Amino acid sequence: MARRTEAKIKDRRHRLHSSRFQPCRHNGEEETRTAKATRSVHPERRYTTMRWWLVVRRLSSVVYRLSLVVCCVWFVVGCTNDGRPTTDDRRLRMWHFWSEPAQDSALRSLVEIYEREHPGVSIELTPLNWADGKSKLQMAFNAGTQPDIIHLGQDWEAEFRDAGVLADTSDANARRLWVVNARALVEWTGGPTTYTLGLCTSDPHNVIKRCLPLIWQGGAPDFYRRLPISADMDERLVHALWSLRNRAVNNAIIEPSRQLDERFLNGEIKQLYTGMWIIDMAAARNITSFRVIPTPSIKNGDVLAITARSAANTNAQRFIAWLAAAPQARAFCDAVSDAGFAAGDTTAGQTAGLSPRLHAHHTAFAQTVALSSFLPSTPIMLSVEPIIEQLIERSYHAPSKDAIRKMVAEAKRKVEDVER
């Protein structure tokens, strides 16, 4: 009896385990080979095996996650925000806007000299172009991949400084004014011309640089020279733009900058505001029939600035101090006609004796720089600029002075919105 009861208990336990671990069947499919093999194993052993398998699987998952965490910690500790090792403070990255081959070559020549004089320090240059360079810089700062040093136009500096991405600019070592230049008035002296004046259009940044001096001469001498900009968008500006409009319709030509320069060198334009590169362009074609007339203009400056999160601040300070120093800045300006003058050479007297490249035209450009002044430094300047450039271009074809008055009022409202 006892043996029969024990046999029944074993049989019931066997059937219980068999039903608990019976593999599922889907849509009448046959049992898999794995399921069949599992059924052939004793229920107690099969249950124990599955428990160990689950334990091993959980341990493997934990080990994998720990490994992943360790790798991430190692990567963060081993690298800076821009992907460079934090200990590599002797490798500097500089982004600049002297991207044309001759310009880039001149800068690289100076960098090679610095690297020879400072063994172990290396400088990686990345050229940007004016069309999208600013947006690339902004994306780099947002992504944490910014370089150690950036070359900026002075009119951009305030915007980047206000965003907090530059090193402390109250420290003179973290920011250097490198070179300065200005658009000057040139006049053709080689005989009669087809056009009396060249006016710039469809050329961002250049419309205001080439036309603002004409607006000052036309009766609005304070416009765009002080803040707020909207305060000087008054009747004097209306009068100055109407004067400019009268010159535009009186045998002037309205084109982008490059076309204007070409027409001037071809003897087609009497007067034009242009950059210092016109001298080298004329020399390459053996053209001497023009003069430079010093007048107040916009002084432009190129700045070397260290970024706030640079891991190589000390070496970056040493390099920008060296590059902006008079000997190197003059050498760069001699090689690159667009650059203008070393920042310290602010008068014709100082400059004339410093560079063998200078002659009457260069001296007149230096005098123009000395007569000129920087525009106000404010983060909103680049947002206001396109509004003013559009106003200038629209005024060229205004049918009446009253039409210009309405244009000025409309532009003033837009500028006030930006200034708020």
Residue 92's nearest CA partner among 68, 118, 129, 70 is: 118
> What is the C-alpha to C-alpha distance for residues 46 and 305, in angstroms, rounded to an integer?
71
Report DSSP letters for 12-62, one per residue. HHHHHHHHHTPPP-STTPPPPHHHHHHHTS-HHHHHHHHHHHHHHHHHHHH
pLDDT at 338: 84
Q: 397 lies in which domain range? A: 184-297+378-419
If you average pLDDT over residues 400-414, what whole number do you get?
99
The residues, any chain, with a CB within 8 Å of residue 342's CB and separated by 6 or more, are: 179, 180, 326, 329, 330, 333, 354
Report DSSP letters for 72-133, one per residue. HHHHHHHS-TTSS-TT-TTEEEEEES--SHHHHHHHHHHHHHHHHHSTT-EEEEEE--TTTH
Instruction: Kindly state whether residue 9 falls inside one of the protein's structural domains.
Output: no
Instruction: Kindly state whether residue 406 falls inside one of the protein's structural domains.
Output: yes
Spatial contact of 218 and 240, defined as CB atoms under 8 Å apart: yes
* Whether the predicted pLDDT of 60 surpasses 60: no
What is the identity of the amino acid at 181? N
Residues in the chain: 420
Instruction: Kindly state whether residue 236 falls inside one of the protein's structural domains.
Output: yes
Q: How many domains does the chain have?
A: 1
pLDDT above 90 covers a percentage of the chain that reads 67
Q: At what angle do helices 257-265 and 206-217 cross, to 10 degrees?
A: 70
Six-digit token string for 186: 């040139």
Instruction: Kindly state whether residue 164 falls inside one of the protein's structural domains.
Output: no
Residue 104: count other Cβ atoms within 10 Å of its Cβ.
15
- N- to C-terminal Cα separation, the chain: 101
Task: Tell which wins on pLDDT, 4 or 191.
Answer: 191
What is the identity of the amino acid at 303? V
Question: Edge-to-edge, what's the strand order for the sheet holding 341-342?
Answer: 122-127, 91-96, 149-153, 299-306, 175-182, 341-342
CB-neighbour burial class of residue 136 (10 A; exposed 0-12, middle 13-18, buried 19+): middle
Q: Express each pLDDT in 211-251 by its tens digit.
A: 999 999 999 999 999 999 999 999 999 999 999 999 999 99
Q: Express each pLDDT in 5-24 by its tens digit.
A: 445 444 544 443 444 334 33
Instruction: Kindly state whether residue 312 falls inside one of the protein's structural domains.
Output: no
Per-residue pLDDT band for 88 (boundaries 50, 70, 90) equals low
Q: Which residues are paired to 161 by β-bridges?
A: none
Instruction: Kindly state whether residue 253 falls inside one of the protein's structural domains.
Output: yes
Residue 192, preceding peptide bond in cis (omega within 30° of 0): no
Where residue 197 sits, what CATH number does that domain have? 3.40.190.10
Instruction: Kindly state whether residue 237 falls inside one of the protein's structural domains.
Output: yes
Q: Express each pLDDT in 302-355 by its tens digit.
A: 999 999 999 999 999 999 999 999 999 999 998 998 899 999 765 444 444 445
If you average pLDDT over residues 81-94, what whole number do you get?
65
pLDDT at 82: 44
Spatial contact of 127 and 97, defined as CB atoms under 8 Å apart: yes
